[in-house]
Every structure is written in C-alpha cells, then in structure tokens.
Amino acid sequence: MSQALLAAIRAQPWAILPEYMEAIEAVAVRFLEAPSLEALRVDGHAERHEANLQAIAAMGSPLEGTRRGMIRNGVASLPLFGPIFPRAASMSLSSGGTSLDTWAADFRAAERSEAVNQILLVVDSPGGVVSSELGAACELIASARKPVTAYVAGAGASAAYWMISQAGEIVMDPLSVVGSIGVLSSLSRQEGPDASGRRTHDVVSSNAENKRPNPATPEGRQVIQALVDSLEREFVATVAAGRKTTRETVLEDFGRGGLLAGKAAVKAGMADRLDSLEATLARLSRPAAPAGGSRALAEREHDMRQRRARSL
C-alpha cells in the first residue's frame, strides 16, 4: 500500500518546498518519526497553522455560500493554508491543507456576493501540486471583478506564490517569506532486493521509453529535466504577467528558486508592502476602489509602488 501511495504522489510534478514534499511522502507511509516531519515540527508550522485559523475566525462572520470564508466590513477573507492539492479528496498534511476545488468555489462565492467589496487572501503555504486546477485558480485571481489582495502571514512559496502573484497587491508580514519559484519531480527506484529496498523492473511499450524515465541514468534525468523546465517556464511567465515585470527579472531577482523575506521581497518587486494582517484588513475596509479586476487595479499604482519599494 505504501508503495502505491508513493507512486501516486510521484506521478505528478510539484511546485512546493522540498521538505514538505518529503513530509507528504512520510505521512503517506505513516513513518511519523521521519526527519522531514521533525523539521516541520521544529519550524513551527503546526503552531502557525493554528494561529492562522484563529486569525481567520476573528476576521468577521462566516461568508454565506463558502466553507472557509469570513466577511467583515465588505472584505471577504479566504485562507490559503498548507500544501495545495487539486481536489478535496487529495491527501493533505494532518496540520491542514488547501483543496483548489473548495478554494475556487469559495472565491467565486465571494465574487458573487453583493456584500463583498474586496477579497483578501490570507496565505501561509509551502506550495503544492502542479495541475490544471492551479492554472484555473491563477486565472480566477487575475480576472477577478473585485480587487484582490494577498496577505502573506507565514510563507507564500512555490505554487502559493504562483497563485498570489496574480493579485492586485501582495502584503507581507515583516517576518514572512515568498518565492521558491521552480518545479520539482520526486522520483525513486528501489534497488535493494531485501528488506532495505525492492528492486523494480519497469517494462513499457517499445515506442514509449519516456513513460517511466529512470532518474539514475543521464537519459532518464534529461526527460525529467525537460518536464520540470517546461513547467517552470509557465510558472515564470505567469509570475511576470501578474507582477508586471519581465521574465528576465523574475529569473534573476525573484530568489532563483530560493525564498526572500519581508523587506528584501518588497525591494525585489515580489511584494508591494509590509504590514500587519489587522492593519491590512482595516485599510481594505475603506470605500472600494473602482472596479476593473486585480491586474487593472494594480496597473494604476504599479509605478508608485515600485518607486517606494526601491527606496526601502
């Protein structure tokens, strides 16, 4: 059973922090003493998740028609917490995750609600699965008829940053981080014939040698590399469009696959300002700006924000 779970996990590319990938695999095989899980316990992820849930609960009253949304003074707050999966049936970490089908339904409900003037995405996520649902979520944010702001409370990494790069504004807690722009594919082949590992023999049709590439061979690594590089190109293009910058800027200044914290992220253009969650909610509760979608609204203030960021 554990091998089947691992095979399912590794059958798809991920945009996620590597240690979370290891933790997801460890949870799948119920290996609860795995070093990767200990690393997550040490980094305070579980405590942050609980604090984030409490923060969302304090952000007003439940938004009608949503599972996890809250509303206060015309601002709908939607959480984007934990590993991101395409569907609710997907596996998530015990400390919580986000299913994009549920998240998208909540986002659409917030857009439809006459009581909602602004949408605030509250984010603390290491990223998740690269899927068609991820692309659809990005488009939902980019084409929103109401202003969308993303607030990064802990981490806005990889697939999470892929999504929030489409918001009209990104606000960060000074100690939060964003980035990890890139795609990974986790593949392994057990070679040991005894209890330490099972030797596998994959046989595919004669004209489908790339169906199960062997990462232990140069040819296999080349096939896998081509896949993750093609997905990274889509990632970079989406971020560049959302942040109103060039592909070259994203590649050179947006962390090169690493993370940037608070002030450094704003200076690089990955985010727009530093602030607290409560102050951000209060600011957004003021009279709504004219309609025009997340990107259209962002364009009006982009030059001003860039000048302010460079002066930090």
- What DSSP character marks residue 64? T
Range 111-132 average pLDDT: 92
Cα distances from 149 to residues 75, 82, 167, 172, 300, in angstroms, run 10, 19, 6, 11, 15
Q: Where are the beta strands (DSSP E) in the chain?
A: 14-16, 61-62, 70-72, 75-81, 84-85, 98-99, 118-125, 127-129, 148-157, 169-172, 177-179, 259-261, 273-274
Residue among 97, 91, 67 at smallest CA distance from 159: 97
The more confident residue out of 194 and 22 is: 22
CATH of the domain at 27: 3.90.226.10
pLDDT score, position 240: 97
Per the structure, the complete domain to which residue 139 belongs is given by 2-311
pLDDT score, position 290: 46
| Dihedrals phi, psi of 262, to nearest 5 degrees | 25, -105
Q: Check whether 17 has a pLDDT greater than 90.
A: no
- Mean pLDDT lowest among 32-46, 104-118, 259-273, 276-290: 32-46
The gap from C-alpha 40 to its chain's centroid, in whole angstroms, comes to: 17
d(CA 44, CA 32): 17
Q: Check whether 213 has a pLDDT greater than 70.
A: yes
pLDDT in tens, 135-149: 999 999 999 999 999
Provide the number of structural domains found in the chain: 1
The more confident residue out of 280 and 190 is: 280
| Dihedrals phi, psi of 119, to nearest 5 degrees | -120, 130
The more confident residue out of 210 and 46 is: 210
Cα distances from 115 to residues 36, 61, 65, 120, in angstroms, run 43, 12, 12, 14
- State whether residue 14 is helix, strand or coil: strand
- Mean pLDDT lowest among 70-84, 173-187, 202-216: 202-216
pLDDT score, position 205: 67
Cα distances from 204 to residues 189, 201, 211, 226, in angstroms, run 15, 10, 7, 20
pTM of the model: 0.76
pLDDT score, position 139: 96
Portion of the chain with pLDDT greater than 90, in percent: 46
Helix, strand, coil share (%) of the chain residues, nearest 5: 45, 15, 40
| Dihedrals phi, psi of 169, to nearest 5 degrees | -150, 140
Rg (CA), the chain: 20
Bridge-partner residues for 75, per DSSP?
Answer: 72, 118
pLDDT in tens, 62-91: 999 998 899 999 999 999 998 898 886 554
pLDDT in tens, 150-162: 999 989 999 999 9
Q: Check whether 202 has a pLDDT greater than 60.
A: no
Q: Check whether 165 has a pLDDT greater than 60.
A: yes
Strands 259-261 and 177-179: antiparallel
Top-confidence range, 14-18, 167-171, 185-189: 167-171
Range 216-222 average pLDDT: 84
